[in-house]
Structure 1
Amino acid sequence: MREGRDRFGWFVMLPGAVIVAVPLVFPVGSLLPTIRPWLGLAVPVLAGLAAWRRSRPALAAVMVPLVAWLGVFGGHLLPDGDEPHDLVAVQHNVSDENPDPAGTVRTLVAGHPDLVAMEEITPEAAPAYAAAFPAEYAHHTIHGTVALWSRHPLIEAAALDIRPAGLGDDWNRGLRAVARTPHGDIAVYVAHLSSVRPSPTGLDTARRDDSAARLGAALAAEPHERVILLGDLNATTGDPGLRPVTAHLATDGSDFAFSFPAALPIARIDHVLARTLTVTAVRTLPRTGSDHLPIIAGLRL
């Protein structure tokens, strides 16, 4: 009986444990980086099988994915505490079908952020959003379907062309402005990268990756040392398609604070990233009328 249990551990559990652990440490493609935190759910399943078989090798095999998961995500289980910050930014894809612009704005400004970025603002809904912002957010700019509200003056506000090849001039999902803050001028980008679509061969990321490359080129050429990017990037920061962007900017390093889909969030595809500023604890805000959750982050100079 013991020999049979040990065989189960060595020849069944160990290969299964390695299959789970390898993509945790070495994620590839667009799908694995998105679901990588959830691979940890395999650990209790494997542990249950090991306990059922009462196999010591099987129990030892469970440690392989457990150690891998803790090595990647364990630090994010610890509370962030009240980290100091100089600015606060909110990012939200409000959805072009949002039935409650005023309620959405109330949620976004409840934490008194300095900057509020929004995507999927339609021309019809834009006046309702503008009317809902308190007077202290006197500075704002809208280009296409992306917008930025600020407590601080905005200069050099203009559309940013991150349009993938083959799309027309009506595709306007990027902007750049300079926020004149008490801490100095900061270049602020708002971007909504192309969506990832299912295809017969898997996930079609070509347009998103094209958008990311164009955004990355703009960031590389940005003359201001301090830069903040707020946006729905339709990818997690571990996705190789975002490397043109993450080569220039960083976030808090956590893969948690899941923002999409709002009904059952499984990934953070909405981001606050920065250069020459430190992004502190990112968290989600309560649900609005959107299919995304808003995120809020501190920024330390």
Structure 2
Amino acid sequence: MLAASAVATAVLLAFHRTVPRFMSGLGSLLESFLPWLGLVVVTLLGLALLRRSAVALVALLLPAALWTHLYGGLLLPRPAPGPRDLVVVQHNVSDENGDPAGTARALAGAEPDLIALEELVPSALPVYERTLAARYPYRSVQGTVGLWSKHPLTEAGPLDIKPRGITQDWRRALRAVARTPHGEIAVYVAHLPSVRVRASGLASSWRDESAGLLGRAVEAEARRTVILLGDLNGTVDDRGLEPVTSRMRSAERGFAFTFPASFPLARIDQVMARSARVSHLRTLPATGSDHLPVAALISPEGGPAGR
């Protein structure tokens, strides 16, 4: 049974995309927590050692190798920042955050070049603007998402990723161009619809439709270097985000689970890039939000990040 469990774990790691999504969203649910199969491998290893089962130990080599291939790189230490690297911070600040000023100060304490925020509400927005103004004089706020920058922003405006089923005012994405010392970089901030867990399974159709619109916008972006920051309400393994993840690079190092903040189980707050590397991703201390903020090190590739 131990050997069979090891083989089954390996099959899930290697062929998780074959698990149907239409069965109550089972495929997306599995992919949201796929890294945690490493704990299954460790548990089976302990049982195999306890039983002194050579067959089980040999069988465990397969899922152990697969997990290491998929996620081992995320455990590597943080690289030293380079002279052209940018630091960015991404945070869903929560529309119920009782301390927006403290949250803003905590995010600015990481000394990022860019700060992306979601779930900005009218009552808290002036507090964020006032607290961040001195160090981040350039900003763009579109609906409930915002971008603060140390570098000038141009071409800032809303990005339409609203699913067809939503009829009310719904502005949860923006695009701007940051004029960094290393060239112009297109910056996208997005907050995709939530995935709801119901008795019938996972409801993700709006999230998936919005991801498709975001993916097409990124694909059509004329500037070579692109940074995407946002609460995408899905992990990078979730095939529902494939329109985005297939066009962007995710973090090379760092698990950085962000949700829920009280006991993080998955990273649904993402930093991705095109023609650049997200060389490291880490969580920052908890704020008044139910998400943890993340800070990422972005390493642009090649020459100037222009058109």
Q: Distance in 2 between matches of 1:277 and 1:63?
A: 34
Classify the secondary structure of the residue corresponding to 1:30: helix
Return the letter of the residue paired with 2:96: E
Cα distance, 1:212 vs structure 2: 0.2
For structure 2, the 5+ residue unaligned runs are 18-26, 301-307
The counterpart of 1:27, out of the listed 13, 16, 19, is 16
**What are the Cα deviations for residues 102-142 of structure 1, in whole angstroms up to 9, with x where unaligned?**
11011111121110000000011101111111512111111
Q: Tell me how far apart the structure 2 counterparts of residues 115 and 27 of structure 1 sit (CA, whole Å).
A: 35
Contact 1:118 1:148 in 2 (8 A): yes
Residues 1:158 and 1:134: Cα distance change in structure 2 (over 3 Å): closer
Which whole-Å CA distance do the structure 2 matches of 1:54 and 1:113 have between them?
Answer: 51
Q: Is the 8 A contact 2:195 2:203 kept in 1?
A: yes
The answer as to whether partners of 2:257 and 2:283 remain within 8 angstroms in 1 is yes
CA deviation string 1:34-65 (max 9, x = no partner): 11111111123212322333322123223232
CA distance, structure 1, for counterparts of residue 148 and residue 219 of structure 2: 24
Q: How many Å separate the matches in 2 of 1:61 and 1:299?
A: 39
2:69 corresponds to 1:71: yes
Aligned to 2:239: 240
**2:128 is aligned with what amino acid?**
Y
Specify the alignment match of 1:195 in structure 2. Answer: 194
Number of aligned residue pairs: 290
1:241-270 Cα shifts (integer Å, max 9, x gaps): 111112221122357111111111111111
Question: What is the alpha-carbon distance in structure 1 between the residues aligned to residue 14 and residue 257 of structure 2?
Answer: 20
Tell me if 1:214 matches 2:213: yes
Contact 1:227 1:274 in 2 (8 A): yes
Letter in structure 1 aligned against 2:130: A
Q: Secondary structure at the match of 2:16?
A: coil
Q: Deviations over 1:5-48 (max 9, x none)?
A: xxxxxxx1221111111112222321122111111111232123
Matches within 5 A, 1:1-301: 12-28=1-17, 29-84=27-82, 85-254=84-253, 256-301=255-300
Query: Aligned pair in 2 of structure 1 residues 199, 254: CA closer, same or farther (>3 Å)?
Result: farther
CA separation in 2, counterparts of 1:244 and 1:224?
Answer: 19
Percent identity, please.
Answer: 54
Indicate the larger mover: 26-35 or 90-99.
Answer: 26-35
How much has 1:76 moved relative to structure 2? 2.2
What TM-score comes out, normalization by structure 1 length? 0.92
8 Å Cα contact 1:255/1:268 also seen in 2:
no
Task: Give me the whole-angstrom Cα distance separating, in 2, the residues matched to 1:143 and 1:57.
Answer: 58
| SS state at 1:15 partner | helix
Rounded Cα–Cα distance in structure 2 between residues aligned with 1:226 and 1:45: 42
Q: In 2, distance between residues paired with 1:254 and 1:199?
A: 33
- Alpha-carbon RMSD across the aligned residues, in angstroms, is 1.5
Question: Where does structure 1 differ by over 4 angstroms across 4 or more consecutive aligned residues?
Answer: none
- What is the deviation of 1:75? 2.3
